[in-house]
Amino acid sequence: MNDAKMIGTVVGQGSVQAEWIDINSHMNVAYYVLAFDFGIDDLWTQFGITDDYLEHEKGSTFAVECHIEYKSELLLGDPYVITSQLLAYDEKRVHQFQRMYHAERKHLVATAEWMNLHVSLETRRVTPWPAKILESIGAFATTQHDQTRPEYLGKKMVVKKPLYTL
């Protein structure tokens, strides 16, 4: 499978490290989450959520939900690119969808759907985005107005013909 066009805004890239390889000789599931998370960090920086912001404004983001779907394996040294598509946001939340592509072959490797909240690091409670951050999120969203909703959005896990179920 070859996806001719990568969907979303590029927010990260890298290559599979030796310590990310598991007993099946491919990238372990935990490191897909790590790679996606690094992409989110890059996105937050674009919004103005930097180390300086955390230190002086005492605000950050917490992931409260994530769903990952694996489409194809990555092997040692394989290069990847992470894209992000903003699905929705409000005064406290961001709902985003990420895609990981093999950087050379351009095929879809994995997807991650996230819900993130803005949190005060002093109270450890959800708090509204500062106006400047909210404005940056809105500006980012306008760059993606022509993108369609992901086909894998909100996908549930099911066994179609279970031999056992609760």
In angstroms, the CA 97 to CA 85 distance is 5
Q: Phi/psi at 119 (nearest 5 deg)?
A: -130, 140
CA 146 to chain centre: 19
Query: Residue 14: which residues within 8 A CB-CB, separation 6 or more?
Result: 35, 38, 79, 80
Task: Enter the tokens of residue 11.
Answer: 């927010």
Strand locations in 27-164, DSSP E? 59-70, 79-89, 93-102, 108-120
pLDDT at 164: 87
Exposure string over 27-38, b if 16+ CB within 10 A, otherwise e: beeebbeebbbe
Domains in the chain: ranges and CATH: 9-142 (3.10.129.10)
pLDDT at 1: 45
CA 9 to chain centre: 11
Name the pTM for this structure. Answer: 0.90
How many CB atoms within 10 Å of residue 143? 10
Per-block mean pLDDT, blocks of 10 residues, the chain (166 long):
74 98 97 97 95 96 96 98 96 97 96 98 98 97 90 84 84
pLDDT at 4: 56
